[in-house]
Chain A
Amino acid sequence: MNISIGLADILLISPVIVLFLFSLIPLTTKVLNKNVEQSPATTLVVALMGLGIAAGLLILFGGSDQTIFNGQLLFDGLTKWAGLIAIVSAAAGIVLLYENPSTPYRQFSEIIFLALNSVAGMLILISAINLITVFIGLELMSLSLYLMTAMSQEQKLSKEAAIKYFVLGSIASAIFLYGVSFIFGSTNTVNTAELMQVAAQTIQADKLFLFGIIFVVIGFCFKVSIAPFHAWTPDVYQGAPTPITAFMATAIKTASFAAFLRIAATQVFQGSQNLVDVLQWLAVLTMTVGNVAALVQTNLKRTLAYSSVAHSGYIFIGLITVGLSANSAYSATAVVFYLLTYAVMSIGAFGILSMIEKSENDFVTVDGLAGFAKKQPALALCFTIFLISMAGLPPVLGFFGKLYLFGAAVSEGLIWLALWGILNSVIAVYYYLRPIVSMYMKPGDTDVSDNRLYASTIMVIASAIFIVVVGLFSGPLFTMIERSLS
């Protein structure tokens, strides 16, 4: 194989390079400075600069529909949008981390190193069209994350979560890789662009290939927490420091779903009705398990974790739609739009929790929000907006996300799936209302842990404004994403 690297390759891969270089800056400075940690504010600024430049480069060169490194990475509309969502949510997670009481500032530069490398892994994962490269991206993203999960100093749950996540995640990766080997054995290629032409026929003829696809799907189902592969989600979401949970629920989920979308877009599912049926039942199971389990939670992080599982179920409907439709640009847009919606809502909701937590061992419960609306009317209003949006009520963004997603499902004839999604939204309303009840209708004196959490405050309020304003005028954004995806 003749490998040549040209200027185009460098320009397109530049966001990843930038992220890697910026991740080294705080770490190197620390080493040169006799292992004394510089001020966290400086580190934060460096990290945000790195993410900002990477985002800028991605906007400039990302959506040009070019492949680089001999067809390893594809920079198309999906790369650009999913990459942007991942980068922005990662930035938000880092901002929260900077102001969260559980953050060990003595190791802040190490955490930033891990976070930026995780984002670099995400960009590779999103843009990879070769399944081996997908695996590299997946591992780079996940390995950094396992360490970040364990970051908390005193909280034992954090260590437990990290071990759980690591062990289960590794098994999932192994299953994924095993599936890739089957696919290679059957078709002699691991390139999704080439698979696209043969996948639908091969899956009917070749059982080996079918198993390969099933294993790959299971690997992804684990990453995006589709039931019954979701069991790690509540424990890890609860155990990880809240800003890391926000990072996980948004950036990691977006990147994993984007890569999953590429598999679905090979139209491999069209060859096997049985597989489609199973996937539909998984979607139903995921939504139901997520929402029903969330009903009985009192710890808000766990509630949001199960709600995250349920949202994966909704997005999974869109993914199945993409797999089934001949012209998938609309359905794919609906998925990306929902990922964006979910990322903003989650950043906001976890941001509020992160601001209320007083220490590492402090878990915010539903009742623990009592009286928050009196102490912090603006933040309580923001939290209400996030919860209403998650519940899918108009006129905010979450409603329109669901409208587009279920609209795509209905137009592909998946009416029962859409119906199930909608019925699930009713269950969900109950647990999304509980924090609102607590904040507004119960006496108490819950407050933020510190009145000087300026960065988090700004971010939460900006997310809320985004949810409302973009919610009301979601048409242009949808059209913009659709244009770049088709």
Chain B
Amino acid sequence: MNIGASSSILSLIIFLPLLFALVISFWPQRQTLRELALGFSLIQLAVSLLLLRDFDSTTAALQFTEQFTWIERFGISYFVGVDGISLMLVILTTVLMPIMILGSWKSISEQVKGFHVALFVLQSAMLGSFLAMDAILFYVFWELSLIPMYFIVGIWGGARRIYATVKFFIYTMAGSLLMLLAIIFMMRLTPEVTGGAISASLLDFYKLEIPFIAGDFFTPQTLLFFAFAVAFAIKVPLFPLHTWLPDAHVEAPTPGSVVLAGVMLKMGTYGFLRWVIPLFPDASSHYAWLFIALGLVGIIYGALVAMIQPDMKKLVAYSSVSHMGYVILGLFVMNVYGMGGSLYQMLNHGISTGGLFLLIGMIYERTHSREISKYGGLAAAMPIFTIFFIIVTMSSIAVPLTNGFVGEFLILMGAYQYSFTASIFAVTGVILGATYMLWMVKNIFFGPAGEIVKASEHDPEHRLHDMSKREIAVMLPIVILIFWMGLFPNTIMDYSKQSINHLLQNKQNYSLEVK
């Protein structure tokens, strides 16, 4: 199958999950529901791999674009396209989907149908926001992604799920409404560059030259910059806007945590890369110090808080705050190492944190406890599980040969180029990261047998089974990706190289060609 530039593969990628959701919601058999959903997600993955195959990585231009008028009166169009910045995030989304479905095989037992419908709608919304090239279309997908996530946490979550999901929803919505106002305002400016017609196309937004005066906060570019930046910073989440994340992560069911950490947080960092930096270059450079500083605070604060967590899921949630701090740091140092590393780190974090949440979900299914102090000596009872857990931990703390190393190393190089001081703080975060993760591994798997392992030895009912074939199948792709991306980073980075270079070289008058 050859896909030409004029084909509609991107629409297929966005709307196929919606179609799947529809089929699932009318599927009569309960028993085959999971198999069906898994099959669908594999089809979706295959389609996205076709996109990967036909993607031209030698250009920074926008590819596979489709544009149809949607609301003519306001120049709003259905406009989608993919380039080096969004391609890998699309693939990440489609890769994680079958893993999540397989991972939730046992843990989701109620309202299975509704769960998979929500998951597919969520996937569609996330893919849509990565591919949308029209401001309103982007906003629609961006907000749409909140609704299924709200249900996933609220219905299938833990004890404090309602508090967590409402907090998540209101936090994210509050940020994005300011962005909506900024979008409306920018649409009103577009007649300057389109020759009279109002437009919501991102390509027209790029052409705008929005007035900027350094030092004066109340200039259009600065205000618009912050309206967008706050929306994205909440999603990332950037310190001090991160407080919704630990709650949402802890209360969400395992697949919810995976999709939250794996993909949804990346919508925020993607937003910086696609919207904030190219649209408001002056304000971005002028206020870069602020975001770098907050990123650094997030790295160290997240790590310090993670150190004292008794709950393993909460520990990983705070480690997310720390890791996403690196991504922001890399973006705002604005050099080729930092930005390339950031984009890579987005993928790494999706894979390694997603993997950790899946593993924690597996152990929780067996013991119904996530308290680190109750464990100890688990390595003897569950050797395979231990191996997987340690591999993913290594990726998370950026040990060489794993993917995490590549991303963090590049970001640290970028930070060093920007300022020596910044890199010192950033490196401290790496050390702290190793400390709390290894502390957790030590306390769960090694040392004297803890309460849970003891109980399993005496009581056949509580016997701990090692990973099943299904669980190995869930984790195997993640481990393969960890090593693949650690050993052959260029195979992934080549796709985004042109786009990153193009952005850095033409930051002041950024524009995207359409191929």
Residues of A whose CB lies within 8 Å of any CB of B are 388, 393-395, 399-400, 403, 406-407, 410-411, 415, 418-419, 422-423, 425-426, 429-430, 433, 437, 440-441, 474-475, 478-479, 482
Contact = CB atoms under 8 A, between A and B. Distances in A.
B55 interface: no
B181 A426 contact: no
A429 B173 contact: yes
B177 A426 contact: yes
A381 to B, nearest CB: 10
29 contacts: A388-B147, A394-B139, A395-B144, A406-B181, A407-B74, A407-B184, A407-B187, A415-B185, A419-B181, A422-B181, A425-B173, A426-B173, A426-B174, A426-B177, A430-B170, A433-B150, A437-B154, A437-B162, A437-B165, A441-B154, A441-B155, A441-B161, A441-B162, A474-B71, A475-B72, A475-B74, A475-B76, A479-B73, A482-B73
Given A426-B174, A482-B73, A418 B169 contact: no
A437 B71 CA distance: 33
A267 B180 CA distance: 29
Contacts of A393: 143-144, 146-147, 173
Interface string B483-506: 000000000000000000000000
Nearest to A391: B173
A440 B184 CA distance: 34
Contacts of B146: 393
A406 B165 CA distance: 28
Contact of B166 (A423, A426, A433): A433
A429 B165 CA distance: 12
B418 to A, nearest CB: 34
Nearest to A411: B188
Contacts of A400: 71
A336 to B, nearest CB: 14
A394 B144 contact: yes
A422 to B, nearest CB: 5
Contacts of A425: 173, 177
A415 B166 CA distance: 28
A211 to B, nearest CB: 36
Bin the interface of chain B by size: 20 to 34
Interface string B134-165: 00100110011011001100110000011001
B138 to A, nearest CB: 10
A78 B324 CA distance: 52
A479 B72 CA distance: 9
Contacts of A406: 181, 184
Contacts of B288: none
Contacts of A410: 181, 184-185, 188
Contacts of A430: 166, 170
A437 B151 CA distance: 9
B178 interface: yes
A441 B177 CA distance: 26
B70 interface: yes
Contacts of B185: 410, 415
Contacts of B166: 430, 433, 437
Contacts of B143: 393-395, 399
Contacts of A415: 181, 185
Contact of A429 (B76, B169, B187): B169
